[in-house]
Amino acid sequence: MHLNDLIAHQQQRWKIAGVVIAVLLVAVSLFSLSVGELWILPWAPDGALETQLLHQLRFPRLIAALMIGAALASSGAVLQVLLGNPLAEPGVLGISGGASLALVILLFLVPIDPSATLTMTAAMLGAMVFTLLLVGLSRGGRVSTAKLLLIGVALGILSGAVVTWAFYFSTDLSLRQLMYWLMGSVGGVNWQQLSIAVVVAPVLLWLCCRGRQLDVLMLGEIHAKQLGLDVIKLRWKLIFVVSLLVGASVALGGVIGFIGLVVPHLLRLALGTENRFLVPLSAMSGALILAFADTLSRILLSSAELPVGVVTTTIGAPIFVWMLLRSHID
């Protein structure tokens, strides 16, 4: 088989995968809108109660899950290229922890309930600080892949410890209730909170269109510069965008782990490493998996609702161990 035929065959596989994921995404979305204590046909709600349930509860929740899943999975795909680390992910590297830490600090410093814009800004700044630290350490091979991963895990543990101390000493009931939110949950998301989609949606679209530049960046800085890519400018843009997406995701749904790790890595194993296809398909797959996980969190227990972060961690942790064992990182 000639090279052109191989390339055409590979591109066909990506396209088929995209169609399958899109069909599954529509099916899971419809199922998520339908299932619950009251079964509802999304396209034909019966009465005012079903209409209100759909528009005030299930639609905002589904949109939040889709947006967060897409943001985390595409951010994970980009971080794996940016850090040269196949195990990079916002949660594992502590970036989500930095966002949650900034949010808790904001809640302590601001005596009134912060707006959605202020919440997202604080979370984004916290995520950006941790991202800059990790990118700075990864450049020039200053630390090995394994050490970089451990540093990220340590940062996540540190931020988690600070957040736990804050909860322990707080007498504010609303702050204590945020513990459930920090476990990862899109329950209770309303249309006002979803106003951050005005910022997230175009940024996510921009990121999904950077695949070709990421493919060039994978060749190494020297070759990328020879091919006319402004590596420094692109890196700063990617850091900013990833921080914004992770910060917005944490501000909206708390810390939801392993979506950004498992989704792009498994797509690479199954289909290849072409980022022009990988990043948008990671976004679609992340949206699909988180919407499905959130639906499971609502229906697994009849008497309570599980935090969706618990569901994704339960599924993702064994896969992460398997990926560690097969990667043979140094």
Better-predicted residue by pLDDT, 138 or 57: 57
For residue 187, pLDDT beyond 60: yes
Domains along the sequence of the chain with CATH? 64-327 (1.10.3470.10)
Task: Compute the average pLDDT of residues 31-58.
Answer: 88
Alpha carbon distances (Å) from 63 to 69, 141, 156, 200, 281? 10, 40, 27, 12, 18
Model pLDDT, residue 58? 92
At 18 the pLDDT is: 93
Instruction: State residue 28's pLDDT score.
Output: 96
Residue 279: pLDDT above 90?
yes
Q: Look at the pTM and tell me if it is higher than 0.85.
A: yes
End-to-end CA distance of the chain: 36
Give mean pLDDT, residues 309-324: 81
More confident residue, 143 or 55: 55
The lowest-confidence range among 157-161, 163-167, 285-289 is 163-167
86 vs 51 pLDDT, higher one? 51
CA distances from 119 to 14, 96, 99, 181, 190 (A): 37, 14, 10, 14, 15
Lowest average pLDDT, out of 72-76, 104-108, 126-130, 216-220, goes to: 104-108
Across all residues in the chain, what is the average pLDDT?
83
Q: Is 264 exposed, middle or buried (0-12, 13-18, 19+ CB in 10 A)?
A: buried
Q: Which of 252, 284, 273 is nearest to 21 (CA)?
A: 284
Q: What is the mean pLDDT of residues 3-28?
A: 87
Is the pLDDT higher at 305 or at 21? 21
> What is the average per-residue pLDDT within 183-212?
88
Residue 188 CA to residue 106 CA, distance in Å, equals 21
60-83 per-position pLDDT tens digit: 999 999 999 999 999 999 988 887
Residue 141, pLDDT above cutoff 60: no
- H or E element: which one contains 16? helix 3-34
Dihedral angle computed from the Cα positions of residues 125, 275, 32 and 323, in that order, rounded to the nearest 10 degrees: -80
3-class SS at 91? coil
pLDDT-derived band at 305 (thresholds 50, 70, 90) equals confident
CA angle 140, 261, 233 (to 5 degrees): 40
pLDDT band, very low/low/confident/very high, at 289 (cuts 50, 70, 90): very high
Highest mean pLDDT among 117-126, 230-239, 264-273, 285-294: 285-294
Mean pLDDT for 139-163 is: 74
Given a cut of 90, whether residue 206 has pLDDT beyond it is yes
CA angle 193, 198, 199 (to 5 degrees): 100
